[in-house]
């Protein structure tokens, strides 16, 4: 390689180096900002995760302390004082509170707590369905059959995880209102459902026999 070619190469390399330094001086802050954002984002996620974990632990501990009190009425009152950190936790808290209220004989308070979950659009659908089901069963003594029928029919729709349990309750309402044939039809439909559990199958079979029906018929 001639001295002339070597000189050209050196000049070209120097130009490239100067151009790189120029780009770094002009745009280097962008790279620094990206690094800061990445590091800051990771730190924020770690801090947020720690905060959520601490909240969940404090929430769980407060529930356990409330459940350690002497009687169901006191437990329900203690649970009512707890502040839930999010909609899911609030739904769970309300259902626990409803259980304690029901145990204390405070049926109206139990139903009110359950209905608060059932109508809470921020709560998960499964929580709303369970709360609605429990509110209807808790209200058996105070709600008329037509009102309970309407509620259970909504839960008995296809795709609802509680649909077979709701169908069982509808059969019981048919028995309550003296509609034996409709009750048998509902009970036999439960028996032929591919998703029926062993426990529900046994209860439905016992009801069919008690009503004087034959298994596998309507």
- For residues 94-125, one letter each, b for 16 or more C-beta atoms within 10 angstroms of the residue's C-beta and e for the rest, the string is bbbbbbbbbebebbebbbebbbbbbebeebee
Long-range contacts of residues 62-67, Cβ cutoff 8 Å, at least 24 apart: 63/93, 63/96, 67/96, 67/100
Q: Is the pLDDT of residue 112 over 80?
A: yes
What percent of the chain stands above pLDDT 90? Answer: 32
pLDDT in tens, 15-31: 566 665 565 556 554 55
Query: What mean pLDDT is reported for the chain?
Result: 79
The per-residue pLDDT for range 116-174, each reduced to its tens digit, is 888 888 888 888 999 999 999 888 878 889 999 999 999 999 889 999 999 999 999 99
Q: How far is CA 98 from CA 64, 86, 110, 114, 117, in A?
A: 16, 18, 4, 6, 10
* Percent of the chain whose predicted confidence (pLDDT) is above 70: 74
* pTM of the predicted structure, to 2 decimals: 0.65
What pLDDT shows up at residue 123? 83
């Amino acid at each position: 390689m001639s001295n002339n070619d070597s000189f050209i190469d050196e000049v070209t390399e120097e130009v490239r180096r100067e151009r790189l330094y120029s780009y770094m001086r002009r745009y280097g802050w962008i790279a620094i900002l990206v690094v800061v954002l990445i590091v800051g984002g990771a730190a924020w996620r770690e801090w947020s995760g720690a905060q959520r974990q601490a909240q969940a632990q404090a929430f769980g501990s407060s529930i356990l302390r409330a459940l350690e009190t002497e009687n169901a009425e006191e437990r329900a009152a203690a649970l009512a004082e707890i502040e839930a950190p999010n909609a899911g936790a609030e739904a769970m808290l309300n259902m626990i509170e409803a259980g304690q209220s029901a145990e204390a004989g405070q049926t109206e308070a139990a139903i009110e707590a359950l209905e608060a979950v059932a109508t809470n659009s921020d709560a998960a659908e499964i929580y709303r369905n369970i709360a609605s089901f429990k509110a209807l069963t808790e209200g058996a003594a105070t709600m008329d059959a037509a009102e309970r029928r309407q509620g259970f029919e909504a839960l008995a729709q296809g795709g609802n995880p509680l649909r077979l349990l709701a169908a069982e309750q509808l059969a019981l309402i048919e028995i309550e209102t003296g509609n034996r044939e409709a009750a048998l039809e509902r009970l036999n439909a439960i028996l032929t459902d591919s998703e029926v559990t062993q426990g529900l199958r046994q209860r439905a079979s016992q009801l069919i026999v008690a009503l004087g029906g034959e298994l596998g018929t309507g």
